Amino acid sequence: MSINDCIFCKIAKKEMPAKIIYEDEKVVAFNDINPKAPIHILVIPKKHIESIKNLEQKDEELASSLILAAKKIAEQKGLSGYKLVFNVGKDGGQIINHLHLHLLAGKPIKLP
Ligand code: AMP
Ligand code: ZN
C-alpha cells in the first residue's frame, strides 16, 4: 500500500471524514470509528510513519508530541485515568500502518 492510499494520511489532510478532537501543527486526534471503550481516540502524527518500528532518533520530538497531545485531550475531557496504547506490527495487533496512539477511557480496560 502506498502512502497515497493511507487512510490516516487522508484524515490528517481532511480528505476523509473523521470526528477531529484535537489538532496542532504536528498531530491530529480523532474518534476511533469502532470504539473499544466509551472514549476511544486515536492520536496520529501528520507525517506518515508506519509504526514504532519505523521511528528514528530524529522523530524524538514528534513521538513525545503524540503523548503530550493525548495528555492534553485527557485533561480537556477531565479524565481521571486512561490508557495509552501503541500496537506495533501485525503481530502486535496493528492493522493500520500509520503510527497511532490509542487513548482509551471510560471503563476499566484490561490489557489482553
Ligand atoms: P490498530 O489495530 O492499532 O491498527 O488500530 C487501528 C484502529 O483504527 C482501530 O481501532 C480501528 O477501529 C480504527 N479505524 C480504522 N479506520 C478508521 C477510520 N476511518 N476512522 C477512525 N478510526 C478508524
Ligand atoms: Zn499515512
For 76-101, how does the pLDDT look when each residue is reduced to its tens digit (9 = 90+)?
Answer: 999 999 999 999 999 999 999 999 99
- For residue 48, the CA-to-ligand 2 centroid distance in Å is 4
Domain count, the chain: 1
Which atom of ligand 1 is least distant from the CA of 30? 21
Residue 1: pLDDT over 90: no
Is 24 a domain residue? yes
Does position 38 have pLDDT exceeding 80, yes or no?
A: yes
Q: Residue 58: give its domain's CATH number.
A: 3.30.428.10
pTM, two decimals, is 0.95
Q: How high does pLDDT run on average in the chain? A: 95
Residue 37 located in a structural domain = yes
pLDDT at 112 over 70: no
Output phi, psi for 44, to 5 deg: -125, 150
What is d(CA 88, CA 74) in angstroms, rounded to the nearest whole number?
23
15-to-6, 8, 9, 23, 81 alpha-carbon distances in Å: 11, 10, 8, 15, 32
pLDDT band per the 50, 70, 90 thresholds, residue 104: very high
**pLDDT at position 39:** 97
Residue minimizing CA distance to atom 18 of ligand 1: 33
CA distances from 17 to 8, 31, 38, 46, 82 (A): 10, 11, 20, 15, 25
Ligand 1 atom closest to 100 (CA): 3
Range of the domain at 99: 3-105
Residue 86 within a domain = yes
In the beta sheet, which residues pair with residue 84? Answer: 103
Active site residue 100: yes
The reply to whether 112 falls in a domain is: no
Res 110: pLDDT: 72
